[in-house]
Every structure is written in C-alpha cells, then in structure tokens.
Amino acid sequence: MRIIVLGGAGDMGAETVRDLCRFSKATEIIIADRNRQAAEAVAASTGDQRVKVKTVDATSRDDLIALMKGNPVVAGALGPFYKFERLVVEAALMAGANYVSICDDHDAADSVLALDDLARQRGRRILTGMGWTPGLSNILARKGYEELEEVEEINVYWASSAGDSEGLAVIMHTMHIFTGTVISFQEGRHIAVKAGSEQEIVEFPPPVNQVKMYHLGHPEPLTLPRYLDGLQKVTLKGGLAENYLNGLARFVAALRLSNTSAGKQIMGVILKGLMPIFPKDKKRRVSGIRVDIHGRRGGRPISISYAAIDRMRRLTGIPLSVGTIMMAENRIGRFGVFGPEADSAVQPDVFLEELAKRKVIIGRRELEQAGSTAATD
C-alpha cells in the first residue's frame, strides 16, 4: 500500500506524515513537495525507512498524473486550495487514484463536488475537507445530528492564533475567506453573505476563551445541508485570537488587494515577512473548534455542543491521516466526491476513537433548551 502526501513538507502535511508513520500499515509513504530540502528534513525527522521524497510541480497536471499513477491513496495538504484543489482532483481522476484532502475553501469545495458523477463513473473515492474545519467539524456535526431526532440548526465556530501557524498557505487562505461574499445556509437555502460580517463573541474552552467571530468562507454551510436532511440553518464563523489581525484581513479585503489570486500571493508574502514583528497572544498559541447542534429529542428542545483545543497542525494533520488510512484500508464505502459527513463516508464513532488514541480530546455539553451553548471540556 503506497500513500502520497501532497504538500507533506508543510506544517499540516508534516503532521500527517508523522501520524502515518505511527499508525498506518503503508509500505511506502511519499512526501511530494516542491521544496525538496524541507521534505527531506521531514523525512529524516521520522526515522522511518518507508518515507521517501519526490519533487513535484503541483501546477502541472502532467506532473500530478505521473505522480499518482499506480493506484495509490493521495493525501492532499497542498494549499491554498482555491488554487490547487480542482487541479489535483482532476489529476487524481485521470490517474485512477483515491484522494483525501483538507480543502478548506468553500469555492474550491463547490468546484470539486461538481465532479461527483464523474468520480462515481470511474469508481474513485474523493473525500474533500478532511481536516480541522472542515473535517473534524463536519464529523462532530454528524455525531450530534445522529444523537437527536430532529435537527434544525448547526453552528460551526473556529478560533486560531497567529502564534499557532505562520505558513504562507494559511495566510493566503485567511485573506481569501475574508474577501468578497461567502456561502451561508439560512431559512433552508444557500445565500451569499459578506465575508467578515456579523461579529459575534463566542466562548471556547481555555486557554482560547472568548474570540470575536465573523462569517467566513469555509465549506461547512455548503456540505452539511447536502448530506444531513431537515436542516434549516448552517453557519460558519471564525476568527483569530489577535483581533487586530481580523481587522487587518477585513481592511485588505476592503481595499480589494485580495480580490485576485495574484493579489493574495503578493499580500501573503508581505504579511508573512511581517509576522515576526506582529504582536501575538502568547497565552493562546493554540486553535479551537466548536460545533453547536440544535434540535429535539422526545419533543424537547436540546442543544449539543462539542469542542476541542489543540495545535492547528494536530487538529488538521491528524484527521487527514486518519481519513487517508481509512481510505487505504477500504473502510470508506462511498464513491464519488463527498464530504466526511456523507452517508457511507467517515463513521463518527470510529473516527473519534482514532482521535482519542492520539490524545485529541473532544469536550461535550448538552442542554435541554433552545439557543447556543458554551462548550467546555
């Protein structure tokens, strides 16, 4: 069994590689990255002879197809996904590979979900959005959905810190999701809302605590209503612990500096260079996820809230590894292009058991009342 990790030299991909070394039965784990020096450093750090390095130009469909031939399972940690996800999925379908990614851009997810019929026809499995948010968030949403008899509303929140990740792809993604309009699901239909709008203060477990949240461009409002019947509202809000950075992202968007891929690239490089001098919240150099599910059980209004706090690379890289192992071991029965919460995709209890083995702790709280709840460990 051969596993390829695209972008395996980055923060998230490197965590996936390390987890695959610990938990997978792969005969070969290939770090595919354009930065060979960084990839070789990650490979050496594992001390695992199964880990190999290949240089790849991810902007070349021919390079990607050549890399993916031979029926491997491919883990996609190559961001920003608005730039790469469609290209990689098309290459996987041409090469005959199954693919699992951490795609976190709503427009990229929408683009590859359009390839569902083609993937089914070719007998391929493309699991998109199998990271932190989306990924862990979707599976927690599915878990709560299955615990209630009726579910009307799901609210997903994420919080992070500039001290938790300073990668270029993360910075470009942040600018992208603060730009223009993004997808929300309200009153039983998808609508466009202004990115960075409707500020809300949300409580997370310590040390994250309270963070200002905004509508941002992640895939959960797109995919959760697609697979979970009866929902009337799905929202996604996120924010950085250093709120001045939320304001900076909104300012860049207002100046239309992040409206194009080239603009995001230029601004990303500039901001990455400035990150060392930006003040950071030293007490909150972690990331968090909170998922609130509102519905009914036995006719009573119930709110279930899940939450997790950890380093971003673990919250993202470990779910990608778990999903990739499940794919490699044929424990995902669905064909096509789909999110982790889809039927016959990722079974929530099995997935959460795997997270527990890696000491990723999920808190749960249930209240017998309507409205939002505060998630605690």
List the domain boundaries for the chain. 2-131+314-355, 136-311+360-367
pLDDT score at 3: 97
Tokens representing residue 248 in the block: 């900076």
What are the tens digits of pLDDT across the range 132-165?
999 999 999 999 999 999 999 999 999 998 888 7
Hey, what are 29's tokens?
A: 């784990």
The CATH number given to 2-131+314-355 is: 3.40.50.720
Distances in whole angstroms, Cα of residue 231 to Cα of each of 95, 154, 354: 37, 8, 28
Q: Quick one: which of 264, 262, 324 has its CA closest to 6?
A: 324
SS (H, E, C) 152-216: EEEEEEEEECCCCCCCHHHHHHHHHHCCCEEEEEECCEEEEEECCCCCEEEECCCCCCEEEEEEC
Alpha helix positions (H), the chain: 11-23, 36-46, 61-68, 81-95, 106-113, 116-121, 136-147, 168-177, 220-227, 243-254, 261-274, 312-328, 348-357
The one-character DSSP state at 135 is B
Question: pLDDT by residue for the chain (377 residues), tens digit each?
Answer: 899 999 999 999 999 999 999 999 999 999 999 999 999 999 999 999 999 999 999 999 999 999 999 878 999 999 899 999 999 999 999 999 999 999 999 999 999 999 999 999 999 999 999 999 999 999 999 999 999 999 999 999 999 988 887 677 788 888 889 999 999 999 999 999 999 999 999 999 999 999 999 999 999 999 999 999 999 999 999 999 888 888 888 888 888 888 888 888 888 788 878 777 777 777 788 999 999 999 999 999 999 999 999 999 999 999 999 999 999 999 999 999 999 999 999 999 999 999 999 999 999 999 987 444 444 44
Beta-carbon neighbour count of residue 55 at 10 Å? 13
Give the angle 18-353-236 at the CA atoms, nearest 5°. Answer: 85
C-alpha 20, offset from chain centre? 18
Report which residue type is found at 121: Q
Tokens of 317: 């890289």
Confidence at residue 375, expressed as pLDDT on a 0 to 100 scale: 41
Contact yes or no for 317/15 (Cβ under 8 A):
yes
Q: What angle do CA 38, 43, 47 make, to 5 degrees?
A: 145
- The per-residue pLDDT for 1 is 85
Please check whether the domain covering 136-311+360-367 is classified as CATH 3.30.360.10: yes
pLDDT at 166: 67
